Amino acid sequence: MITVEQVIERMRGALGAPWNEKDRIAAGSGDTPVSGIVTTYAPTLEVLRKAVAAGRNLIVSREAPYWAHELYGRAYDAPGAELAAKTPTYAIKQQYIEEHKLVVLQFSLGWDARKTNGQVRGLANALGWGRYSQSPAKHDAERYGPGDVYFKLPSTTARKLGLDIAARLKVRGIRVIGAPETPVSKAALAPGLMLVPDVRQILKEPGVDAIIGGEPVEWEAGPYFDDVIASGQRKTLILLGQQASAEPGSGEVAAWLKPLAPEVPVEWVPAGEPFWIVRDKKGAEG
């Protein structure tokens, strides 16, 4: 039987980018024999329970099992880890992980440094946008290199595109910046945390009129985009939320891991959107 450490060794070998030491075992022990692998956006208790029910004990996730992490730099990571460790939820989760001998491998930085951007490819495929890709590579396996994030879409509007995306991804907490009737014909995908330099870089591309992103900081990239529009540019920002934008990438992680660990089953278990919204009609919480 292979161990977690052996799986990580194979991942290092196949990554095609330097291993980032922040990608690490965040819970459990590296010498644990692996019975199966689950990939996910966040190792919520629900994902852990599903993994246990399916007899899989290695969880490869983007987010940390105990929520606080410092992957995005100090500015975005207010202290929370110490407080988190004193909560009953922490104790329950830790006990569950120990009891079922689970291992959580937090894996995102190395994944994002690969030549093919798995997060963009996952999101593009989830949207059904593969055929619209402006990526110069012909074959899907070589697509979505650095900067290959643009998609030429059939002409639509911000509102229609927002509704279409919400339906395809089954995301409820979608948020849009820009006027609903703004035309859209070329969009960029930018899953995850969106910072001002990301927006600036994308908007340098000629003709791009929409960005599909994850999560902005509302005193940074959010108002920057607001000002892009007020300065006379007709653009749209569609925010899916961190989870909804990043989750399809975890499906790509599973596809990548499968041939690396043929001894065990590998399965993507989406963490699912944490949010629900209050819809127009009285009594409709969806």
Contacts with other proteins, residue ranges (CB under 8 A): 42, 44-46, 63, 67-69, 72, 76-80, 83-84, 87-89, 92-93, 159, 162-163, 166, 172-177, 180, 193, 196-197, 200, 214-215, 217-232, 239, 241-243, 271, 274-280, 282-283, 285-286
State the minimum distance, in angstroms, from the CB of residue 31 to other proteins. Answer: 27
**Quick check: helix, strand or coil at residue 3?**
strand
Which is closer to other proteins, CB of 137 or CB of 163?
163
How far apart (Å, rounded) are the C-alpha atoms in residues 245 and 242? Answer: 5
Which is closer to other proteins, CB of 1 or CB of 155?
155
Which is closer to other proteins, CB of 107 or CB of 148?
107
DSSP 8-state code for residue 218? T
* 179 Cβ neighbours under 8 A, 6+ residues apart: 158, 229, 234
State the minimum distance, in angstroms, from the CB of residue 18 to other proteins. Answer: 23
**Is the separation of the CB atoms in 48 and 59 below 8 Å?**
yes
Which is closer to other proteins, CB of 137 or CB of 277?
277
State the minimum distance, in angstroms, from the CB of residue 13 to other proteins. Answer: 28
State the minimum distance, in angstroms, from the CB of residue 251 to other proteins. Answer: 18
State the minimum distance, in angstroms, from the CB of residue 230 to other proteins. Answer: 4
Which is closer to other proteins, CB of 41 or CB of 268?
41
**Is the separation of the CB atoms in 160 and 188 below 8 Å?**
no
How far apart (Å, rounded) are the C-alpha atoms in residues 175 and 3? Answer: 42
* 22 Cβ neighbours under 8 A, 6+ residues apart: 70, 71, 106, 109
**Is the separation of the CB atoms in 104 and 59 below 8 Å?**
yes
